[in-house]
Amino acid sequence: MTEPDRAPVGVLALQGDVPEHAAAVAALVGAKRVRSVLEPADLSGLGALLLPGGESTTLSRLLDESGLRDPLIGAGRGGLPLLGTCAGIILLARELEPSPGGKDPLPLGLLSVRVRRNDYGRQAESFEAPIPFPDLPGGPFPGAFIRAPRILSVAPPARVLAELKGHPVAVREGSVWGLTFHPELSGDLRLHRLFLASAGLLP
Partner 1 sequence: MGAVPPFSIGTDRLKRGFARMQQGGVIMDVTTPEQATLAEEAGAVAVMALERIPADIRAAGGVARMADPNRVRSIMAAVTVPVMAKCRIGHTAEARILESLGVDMVDESEVLTPADPFFHVAKRDFTVPFVCGARNLGEALRRIEEGAAMIRTKGEPGTGNVVEAVRHLRQMNQEIAALETMTPEELGVYAEKERVPVERVREVQVLKRLPVINFAAGGIATPADASLCRLLGADGIFVGSGIFKSANPRETARAIVEASMHHTDWTRLSRVSSGLGEAMKGLEISTLAPDQLLQVRE
Residues 6+ positions from 82 with CB-CB distance below 8 Å: 48, 49, 50, 51, 76, 92, 110, 175, 176, 177
Asked if 49 is part of the footprint of partner 1 (rule: CB under 8 A), the reply reads no
Assess whether 192 carries a catalytic annotation: no
The reply on whether position 189 binds partner 1 by CB under 8 A is no
> Does 104 help bind partner 1 (rule: CB under 8 A)?
yes
**Gap between the terminal Cα atoms of the chain:** 19
Rg (Cα) of the chain, in Å, rounded? 16
Q: Contact region for partner 1 (CB under 8 A) — 43-51, 52-60, 70-78, 194-202?
A: 52-60
Member of 33, 61, 69, 150 binding partner 1 (CB under 8 A): 61
- Residue from 7, 49, 131, 170 touching partner 1 (CB under 8 A): that is 131
**Minimum Å distance from CB 182 to partner 1?**
6
Residue 86 is a catalytic residue: yes
Catalytic residue among 20, 21, 86, 192: 86
Contact between 49 and 12 (Cβ < 8 Å): yes
